[in-house]
Structures are given as structure tokens and as C-alpha cells.
Amino acid sequence: MPDLYERDFYSWTQKQADLIREGRLAELDLDNILQELESMGRSDYRTLQSRLTVLFMHLLKWHFQPEKRKQGCSWERTIKEQRKQIGRLLLDCPGLKSKLDAMLPVAYERALEDAHDETDLPVSLFPKQCPWSFQQTVDKNFWPSKS
């Protein structure tokens, strides 16, 4: 069975499903099933972290470059889309909420680098720590403004 996993992943998945349906649990390729299950969870984690990074980066650009924002601009569309996708992901995978405390600082740090790269603004201009709560960040009515 592990050979089928390496040669034809799709057929391997179908075979595993058939074995479960038939109650032939002793024949399951448990090592590879476990690996795939863990991989699925890591994928959702990475997706959420990536979406948070993009959201933070665009919020930073929105906040620190007010002269470049316009109604309906791509930043606004990106912010709205990331918020929607983050909300959907957390609805589908509520267990990820327990990972937010560890994930947010990493996503924000990456967003700082990306915002610097995209704007050419000095990194020192941006707050070292995220100035917004998670709730603000995903709130569709929250739009940071330069004070």
C-alpha cells in the first residue's frame, strides 16, 4: 500500500476510503494517513497566517500612505477579501482560533517586511508591534487612519 501512495496518490486515497467503508481497518495505510491528516492541518494554519500577513500589510499601507488610497482601490478590495476569507477559514476550522496568539506576531512581522518592500518607507516608520487588535483587524468597519 505505501507503494501505491508514492505512485498514485489519488488511487491511494480512494483505496483508503474503500477500506474504511468496508470496515477493513487493519489494512489501512495508517502511517501515510496520519501524515496526510497532519499536513491538512498545517495547510490550513499556513493559509490563515498568509491571509493575516496580507491583511496586515495592506492595513499598514492604508494607514501610512493615505495619499495613495482611493475609494475602491486595490488595497481596499484586498483588505475586504482577506477579511472575508479569514472569517470563512475560522468558521470552517474553529480550532485555529486557539493558534491566533502565536500566529499574529509572526504574521505582523512578515507584513512589516512586505510593507517596507512594497512602499519603500523605512521600517522604523511602522510600529514594531501590531497597533490593532485581532478584532479590529477583521472588523469590516475598521479602517485605520493616520493620526
Instruction: List the pLDDT tens digit at each of the 147 positions of the chain.
Output: 669 999 999 999 999 999 999 999 999 999 999 999 999 889 999 999 999 999 999 999 999 998 888 766 789 999 999 999 999 999 999 999 999 999 999 999 999 999 999 999 999 999 999 999 999 999 999 999 854
pLDDT on residue 2: 65
Query: What pLDDT was estimated at residue 41?
Result: 84
Per-residue pLDDT at 68: 85
- Give every CB contact of residue 126 below 8 A, 6+ residues apart in sequence: 60, 64, 112, 115, 116
Q: How far are the Cα atoms of 25, 38, 58 from residue 42, in angstroms, in the given order?
A: 25, 6, 24
DSSP 126: S
Angstrom distance (rounded) from CA 69 to CA 74: 9
